[in-house]
Chains A and B, each alone.
Chain A
Amino acid sequence: MAKVMDAPPPDVIDVVIDEQPSPRRDWKRLAVPLAGFLAAALLPPLILDGVWNFTLALALIYGLMGLSIVVVTGYVGQLSLMPATFVGVGAFASAGLVARAATPFWWAAPLAALVTVPVALVIGMVALRLKGLYLAIMTLVFADVAEQFLFRQDWFTGQGGSTPAPRPHLFHLVDFQSDKSYYVLVVCVASAFLLFMWNFSRSRAARACFAVRDNENGAAAMGINVAKYKLMAFALHGFIAGSAGALYAHWAQSVSAGGERPAFGLEISLAIVFLTILGGVRSIWGPFIGGAIWVVLTKRLLAGSPNGQSIAFSIFGVLVLATMLYRPSGLVGLGRDAWRRLRRRRPEATG
Chain B
Amino acid sequence: MLAFSSSLLAQDAVNGIFLGAIFALLGIGVVLIYKSSGVLNFAHGSMAMFCTYIYFQVDRSFHLPVGISMLIAVASGVVLGALTYLGIFRRMRNAGLLAKVIGALAVAGFLQGAAAFLWRNATQAKPPMQFSQHVVHLGSVGLDWQHIGTILITIAAGAGVIALVKWTTFGVALRATAQNRMAAKLLGVKEDRVAALSWGLGGGLAALAGVLIIPTSILTVYSMTGYMVRGFVAAVVGGFVSLPAALIGGFGLGVAQESLLATPIQSLSSIFAGLLIAALLLLRVERFFALEQELRALEELG
Q: How far is the CA of A94 from the CA of B15 in the complex (A)?
A: 42
Interchain CB contact under 8 A, B113 and A136: no
Q: How far is the CA of A288 from the CA of B225 in the complex (A)?
A: 28
Interchain CB contact under 8 A, A320 and B109: yes
Interchain CB contact under 8 A, B92 and A132: no
B277 contacts the other chain (Cβ, under 8 Å)?
yes
Contact status of A133 and B106, CB under 8 A, knowing A6-B94, A307-B120: no
Query: Which residues on B sit within 8 Å (CB–CB) of A268?
Result: none
Query: Which residues on B sit within 8 Å (CB–CB) of A81?
Result: 105
Interchain CB contact under 8 A, B97 and A132: yes
Interchain CB contact under 8 A, A310 and B116: yes
B156 contacts the other chain (Cβ, under 8 Å)?
no
Query: Which residues on B sit within 8 Å (CB–CB) of A149?
Result: 270-271
Q: How far is the CA of A149 from the CA of B275 in the complex (A)?
A: 12
CB closest residue in chain A, given B302: A132
Chain A: minimal CB distance from B146 (Å): 26
Interchain CB contact under 8 A, A145 and B116: no
- Total interface residues in chain A, CB < 8 Å: 49
Contact status of A310 and B221, CB under 8 A, knowing A3-B300, A273-B102, A317-B106: yes
Contact status of A133 and B97, CB under 8 A, knowing A138-B277, A320-B109, A325-B91: yes
Interchain CB contact under 8 A, B271 and A324: no
Interchain CB contact under 8 A, B40 and A133: yes
Query: Which residues on B sit within 8 Å (CB–CB) of A8?
Result: 94
A77 contacts the other chain (Cβ, under 8 Å)?
yes
Interchain CB contact under 8 A, B226 and A307: no
Identify which of residues 102-152 in chain A touch chain B, using a CB-to-CB cut-off of 8 Å: 126, 129-134, 136-138, 140-142, 144-145, 148-149
Residue from B94, B106, B107, B115 having most chain A Cβ neighbours under 10 A: B106
Contact status of A5 and B88, CB under 8 A, knowing A310-B117, A314-B110, A320-B106: no
Query: Which residues on B sit within 8 Å (CB–CB) of A138?
Result: 277-278, 281
Chain B: minimal CB distance from A4 (Å): 10
B218 contacts the other chain (Cβ, under 8 Å)?
no
CB closest residue in chain A, given B109: A317
Identify which of residues 286-302 in chain B touch chain A, using a CB-to-CB cut-off of 8 Å: 299-302
Checking B40, B236, B240, B270 against A148 with a beta-carbon cut-off of 8 angstroms, the contacting residue is B270
Query: Which residues on B sit within 8 Å (CB–CB) of A310?
Result: 112-113, 115-117, 221
Query: Which residues on A sit within 8 Å (CB–CB) of B107?
Result: 317, 321
Question: Secondary structure at chain A's binding surface: helix, strand, loop or mixed?
Answer: helix
- Total interface residues in chain B, CB < 8 Å: 50
Chain B: minimal CB distance from A136 (Å): 5
Chain A: minimal CB distance from B221 (Å): 6
Interchain CB contact under 8 A, A324 and B103: yes
CB closest residue in chain B, given A152: B270
Residue from A73, A81, A277, A306 having most chain B Cβ neighbours under 10 A: A277
Checking B99, B106, B120, B271 against A145 with a beta-carbon cut-off of 8 angstroms, the contacting residue is B271
Ranked 8 nearest A-B pairs via Cβ:
A314-B113, A317-B110, A310-B116, A317-B109, A145-B274, A320-B106, A313-B113, A148-B270
Given contacts A2-B300, A141-B273, 18 further A-B contacts (CB under 8 A): A3-B300, A130-B282, A133-B302, A137-B40, A138-B277, A142-B274, A145-B271, A270-B105, A273-B102, A307-B120, A313-B110, A313-B113, A314-B116, A316-B106, A317-B113, A320-B105, A320-B109, A328-B99
Q: Which residues of B contact A (CB under 8 A)?
A: 40, 88, 91-92, 94-95, 97-99, 101-103, 105-117, 120, 181-182, 221-222, 225-226, 229, 232-233, 236, 240, 270-271, 273-275, 277-278, 281-282, 299-302
Q: List 27 A-B contacts (CB under 8 A).
A: A2-B301, A5-B182, A8-B94, A79-B102, A130-B282, A132-B97, A133-B101, A133-B240, A134-B236, A136-B40, A138-B277, A140-B229, A144-B226, A144-B229, A266-B225, A270-B105, A274-B105, A310-B115, A311-B117, A313-B112, A314-B113, A316-B109, A320-B109, A324-B102, A325-B88, A325-B91, A325-B103
Q: Which residues of A contact B (CB under 8 A)?
A: 1-3, 5-6, 8, 73, 77, 79, 81, 126, 129-134, 136-138, 140-142, 144-145, 148-149, 266-267, 270, 273-274, 277, 306-307, 310-318, 320-321, 324-325, 328
